[in-house]
């Protein structure tokens, strides 16, 4: 009987400790900081490869990108495969990490343009 109680108490303690650590261990600012860094890096990628045809996400040689809620997967597909006049950008040109940053930037760009309307 004593051991059962001991195990029960031990389990409760472990549960409390585990939960406590999980809460305290989550830095609430981290994701925002990471996003900002990604957005800044994404802007560089955008300016190098996309700006000339989609200036500021507006219409240029290519169509406007800010005027529609393009999902990340659609952007990724378009960039990797190209279409019509738009060339494809493979992993050796835009890495997967750069692609993530690029998409993060394009979403921020779209929101920023929405506000000025």
According to DSSP H, which parts of 26-95 are helical? 30-49, 72-81
Sign of CA dihedral 67, 71, 76, 81: negative
Per-residue binding letters, 64-103, with ligand HEC (x by CB under 6 A)? -x----x----x--xx---xxxxx-x------------x-
Comparison of 13 and 48: residue with beta carbon closer to ligand HEC: 48
Q: How far apart are CA 44 and CA 105, in angstroms?
A: 9
In angstroms, how far is CA 77 from the centroid of its own chain?
15
Residue nearest to ligand HEC (CB): 84
Contacts of 58 (CB under 8 A, 6+ apart): 64, 65, 66, 113
Subset of 20-49 contacting ligand HEC (CB under 6 A): 49
The interface region with ligand HEC, picked from 17-25, 28-36, 54-62, 107-115 by CB under 6 A, is: 54-62
Comparison of 11 and 97: residue with beta carbon closer to ligand HEC: 97
Q: Which residues bind ligand HEC (CB under 6 A)?
A: 49-50, 52-54, 61-63, 65, 70, 75, 78-79, 83-87, 89, 102
């Amino acid at each position: 009987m004593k051991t059962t109680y001991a195990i029960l108490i031990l389990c409760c303690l472990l549960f409390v400790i585990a939960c406590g650590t999980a809460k305290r261990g989550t830095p609430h600012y981290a994701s925002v900081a990471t996003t900002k860094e990604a957005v800044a890096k994404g802007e560089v990628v955008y300016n190098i490869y996309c700006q000339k045809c989609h200036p500021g996400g507006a219409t240029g040689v290519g169509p406007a990108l800010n005027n529609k809620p393009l999902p990340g997967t659609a952007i990724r597909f378009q960039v990797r495969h190209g279409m019509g006049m738009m060339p494809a950008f493979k992993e050796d040109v835009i890495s997967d990490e750069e692609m993530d940053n690029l998409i993060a930037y394009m979403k921020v760009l779209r929101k920023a343009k929405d506000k000025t309307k």
